[in-house]
Amino acid sequence: MKLDVFLSPAGLAANEVAGRSVFVIDVLRTTTVICAALHHGARGVVPVSSVAEASRLAQTLGPEDVLLIGERNCEPIEGFALGNSPLEMAAPGVRGKTLVMTTSNGTSALLAAHGAEEVFVAAAANLSLAGARAREILATRRELVILCAGRESQFGLDDAYAAGRLAILALGGRRRKGLNDGALAAVDLARRYGTSWERPLSMSAAGRQLTRLGRGADVADAAREDAYPVLPVLRDRRITLETAA
């Protein structure tokens, strides 16, 4: 059994994800927003690395079916329909649309999982579903990767805590052989903070920055466990609900 948690995509070698099952986590806010969008009826989410690429892709796909969403430095992007708040995803315009998304850290982590056998999107918002699937994968394939987006290529407390919560569900109470150093630490952190998301999220640099910018409601929404109970999966550059595959 092999359970690897990578606490940031920086320095991740391609062979560490190639052919494996990967859960990507960016609780504040990218993976929470993806869960919210699909829960509210978006057809799919396409993560891209730059604003320019997002605009080009929207033209290619046809602007009438596409919404541009995302942020830079936690703020909405000029000319984009929506920012990167899970609360915005309840807007009626989201249903039926393909969202082209670019964010500072989260979309990079999703793109860093390129080459994986399968890529799932995880957050507090879909913890139970993601945990059940992670447990199933670990039981059958005997290995699993959890990849944290972190923050500016560095460790993020929010994502590390989430990785620990997901790892604990994946392990299902079994002993801790086969965990890499990141997984051992993530599990330790999850145990240290207990089951409430508020504290690790509000203490994290990402949470503090959002609160400073008046976006504390996003932090509170991202802390609602199983608020958006869907399991998004990334296939061929596009994230959809798993059942839609």
Q: How far is the CB of 5 from a second copy (least distance, A)?
A: 8
Q: What CA–CA distance (Å, rounded) separates 30 from 85?
A: 8
Q: Which is nearer to a second copy, 23 or 80 (CB)?
A: 23
| Residue 222: closest CA among 168, 158, 163 | 158
11 touching a second copy, by CB under 8 A = yes
Q: Is 241 in the site for a second copy (CB under 8 A)?
A: no
By CB under 8 A, tell whether 182 contacts a second copy.
yes
The answer to whether residue 98 forms part of the interface with a second copy (CB under 8 A) is: no
- Given the complex with a second copy, which of 78 and 175 has the nearer CB atom? 175
Contact between 13 and a second copy (CB under 8 A)? yes
Q: Does 209 contact a second copy by CB under 8 A?
A: no
Nearer to a second copy, 171 or 230 (CB): 171
DSSP H or E stretch at residue 232: strand 232-235
Rank residues 83 and 164 by Cβ distance to a second copy and give the closer one: 164
Burial of 241 (0-12, 13-18, 19+ CB in 10 A): middle
Phi, psi of 56 (to 5 degrees): -60, -45
Q: Which of 138, 168, 139, 158 minimizes the C-alpha distance to 206?
A: 158
User: Per CB under 8 A, which of residues 139..158 are in contact with a second copy?
Assistant: 151-158
Query: With contact defined as beta carbons under 8 Å apart, do 218 and 210 qualify?
Result: yes
